[in-house]
Structure 1
């Protein structure tokens, strides 16, 4: 009897020692640093948006949030790293449209865009603008489309490179509006500016030319998304001009597959408040606008965008070597 009593007493002592350890475990998990993986170098739009978002998230959570840049491979290195991370809410992924609805239709990716990630929130939308050279024979969208149709193959549109969104927007306009403009790729948006200003390129779909629009060096025709560019508030959207085109150009927050739904929902709710408070001036400098969608709505948006971009790429017969 005494022996059994001694065993029970020893067990109670051991359990008493264990309880504080078990109780402390969740607290330590909550204090774990949250990482936001960005698949591009520091200093770009994705990095800047992630840092604005991360600073606000750290205040909401009361714990450290760091941005981890993993560039390379056309964003595939960072995407793969995020996809292989634990689904415990400690690793987030901030990425643009192309990673999810463009690259997978052009290359074999080391991640499955539809299966390896769970959408948490759309954070911002990029607001590119359709721009023409100053002396283009047409000022409104209707006039420009009519002129291009009268002279198929005569006019050009420039882009920041093959299969970039600035290229795909031009192909989408050709397909949806029955235009036949010739694509001229450059090595980046910066190279495009002087070409449109000088008149060597007729049309561009980008936001880098906004300063040239404001300076009267080129003319703006329309915003390519359902939002007006904040720097060009008088320039209508394509939809306002009666054209049913809304180009997907967002930055969104994702978590790896396996992340509990409760964690996704909590991050989605936090993101709503964070997006509402993002600095409009800082976003405006990037031709961005806060544009929140929650997990379910964002998932549906991605599915629509994926179908649209797949169709554009196939019809334009776009390939990357």
Structure 2
């Protein structure tokens, strides 16, 4: 049999293809092909853990692999966040955490060995409703009235938050700064004590969505929701934005991240799974229990949000000299 030069080239190409194509097919493995870990930097039982678990359950059903929630609490959520940043970017470890862990802690605390740039943003999951509340007999009835009172009485109007450097504290500082008013910050260790003091009239103002049931019952006065939408618990209470002020709630979110360098197709596929979970009707009710609402953003959009929020929060921390002891 006689072979032309062209025939020999075709035979050689076919032989090469028979070895290369299977090799390429082996490297392009389907994802996921084993269980996925969701790291939360908080202990079991809290709202962050609960949200991480029900998002994990939904993602597991969509992707067809188990999702294992790994709790890594400690050091104001920085231990678990740093741990997640050091994991292999292979698409089998994701961090589920709020603003405080990614866009606040690196600027408030010493020796934090990561930043938001240590991760690839996957998806924004939810945002906080936020709520500005006053004692029932406060000498103002809305947010505009509160600002007018604060301007007339600089430094004399105390407001409570759940702690120095908390996202609620940062939101209040930013809103006050934009309005040009000076209030006195009274930090508490949690919402429980501050609600009691607000009810007793020992403080005048509070920034925390935990007061919603008391506002609904008529025990406290709601001044506005510091988020982009109204709280379903208080449908008649306008947002601060509707009243002509800033959207303070945009800084308070709950989101998913991947270790830096995770393949983009995997990030995209996980983001789409999260989007599908958030579309389920029952998810809104579950998030409402933690004063959150579904607010999905895809990887590209959320990457811009994280960068903007981190820069804004870093600037206000530096300008106001806010530090954690």
Q: Could you say which residue in structure 1 is the equivalent of 2:130? A: 128
1:256 aligned onto 2:252 = no
Q: TM-score, normalised by structure 1?
A: 0.89
- Residues of 2 paired with 1:170 and 1:229: CA distance? 18
C-alpha deviations, 1:58-84, integer Å up to 9, x for none? 001111101111000111110111001
Unaligned runs of 5+ in 2: 1-18
Choose which of 298, 303, 306 in structure 2 pairs with 1:302.
306
8 A Cα contact 1:122 1:298, kept in partner = yes
Choose which of 151, 154, 168 in structure 2 pairs with 1:152.
154
Task: Give 1:25 shift.
Answer: 10
- Residues of 2 paired with 1:48 and 1:227: CA distance? 23
- Residues of 2 paired with 1:299 and 1:24: CA distance? 29
Q: Could you say which residue in structure 2 is the equivalent of 1:115? A: 117
Choose which of 101, 104, 129 in structure 1 pairs with 2:103.
101
C-alpha deviations, 1:216-258, integer Å up to 9, x for none? 1111111111121121111111111111333311000000011
Question: After TM superposition, which residue ranges in structure 1, 4 or more long, deviate above 3 angstroms?
Answer: 22-27, 108-111
C-alpha deviations, 1:255-283, integer Å up to 9, x for none? 00110111111112222111222522211
Unaligned runs of 5+ in 1: 1-15
The 3 A distance-change label for structure 1 pair 245 and 281 is closer
The 3 A distance-change label for structure 1 pair 111 and 32 is farther
Task: Give 1:215 shift.
Answer: 1.2
Q: Could you say which residue in structure 1 is the equivalent of 2:7? A: none
8 A Cα contact 1:79 1:111, kept in partner = no
8 A Cα contact 1:76 1:109, kept in partner = no
- Residues of 2 paired with 1:266 and 1:223: CA distance? 34
- Residues of 1 paired with 2:163 and 2:252: CA distance? 16
- Residues of 2 paired with 1:244 and 1:289: CA distance? 19
- Residues of 1 paired with 2:45 and 2:153: CA distance? 42
1:289 aligned onto 2:296 = no
C-alpha deviations, 1:63-113, integer Å up to 9, x for none? 110111100011111011100111111001000011121111112344322
Q: Could you say which residue in structure 2 is the equivalent of 1:36? A: 38
- Residues of 2 paired with 1:218 and 1:62: CA distance? 47
8 A Cα contact 2:103 2:116, kept in partner = no
Q: Could you say which residue in structure 1 is the equivalent of 2:16? A: none
The 3 A distance-change label for structure 1 pair 261 and 177 is same
- Residues of 1 paired with 2:274 and 2:74: CA distance? 27
SS at match of 2:100: helix
Q: Could you say which residue in structure 2 is the equivalent of 1:13? A: none
Task: Give 1:169 shift.
Answer: 2.1
1:68 aligned onto 2:70 = yes
- Residues of 1 paired with 2:324 and 2:245: CA distance? 29
1:266 aligned onto 2:269 = yes
- Residues of 2 paired with 1:115 and 1:171: CA distance? 25
Choose which of 52, 57, 60 in structure 2 pairs with 1:58.
60
The number of residues matched between the two structures is: 303
8 A Cα contact 2:133 2:221, kept in partner = yes
